[in-house]
Amino acid sequence: MEPYYTDPNRVNTAPSTVPEMTGGVWPPPPMGQAAAPLSGPACVFRSLYRRAAGKVAAKANISDLRVGTIQFDAEGLIIQGQAVPRAEIRLAIMLPLVLVSILFAAIAGTIMEYAGRHDERFGVRWSDVKEILLSPTKNEACVVFDAPNYAGNIKTFSLGMRLGPDYYPLFAQSAQQYAPTILSEGRLRNATSLGVWIALGVIFALVIGGLIAAGMSSGHH
């Protein structure tokens, strides 16, 4: 149903063009003479991303209008203002940008992980080695030691490694010979726990879901 003020027989006092923003605030409502002036007041508004209480409002679309004027009349309302692009347009732009940014982050991480490798050599005294863990079922081991970081501060590091069937027996024998008191067997755990991966997945899903919901909840004008 068309708004009542689009009736060609009715004279609308609202201007056909949207006035420019002045200092970030809309100018006062337009003044002018008309054969059939509106009877009610006009109010300047800025939209809020909020809804009225009630079941109907909870399911209503969020309007695309952001700033403007709303004018009262005996027959209804005249709403005029500046609107953001339609939800379909915003979603079509924002969703690929999010996905592309994630792809760029993955590419950058891969480059730093492999192409950015450099030679490094340092020694660790036995007094600074805290633990050596062996995992014979997978030919893996982990050395926990204290060493200075890039800033020269002493930090504890874990060096997990897969040695393979050729070198694991030699590593295990050497560890037993030089550091039997700090040697143990067990299973190496992932540096990033399953809970963290789940949390990251939930955050990613919320971001994508939020974009979709924001697009779907906006009005179609």
Strand 42-46's sheet: what is its strand order? 42-46, 65-73, 76-83
**0.75 cut: is pTM over it?**
no
User: 92 and 78 in one domain?
Assistant: no
pLDDT tens digits, one per residue of 89-142: 888 888 888 889 889 999 999 999 999 999 999 899 999 999 999 999 999 999
User: 153 and 115 in one domain?
Assistant: no
User: 142 and 53 in one domain?
Assistant: no
User: 115 and 213 in one domain?
Assistant: yes
Helix (H/G/I), strand (E/B), else coil: 98: helix
User: 117 and 194 in one domain?
Assistant: yes
Its domain, for residue 53, covers: 4-84
Go through 150-166 and write b for each residue having 16 or more CB atoms within 10 A of its CB, e for each that does not: eeeeeeeeeeeeebeee
Name residues of the chain where pLDDT drops below 70: 1-38, 211, 213-221
Number of domains composing the chain: 3
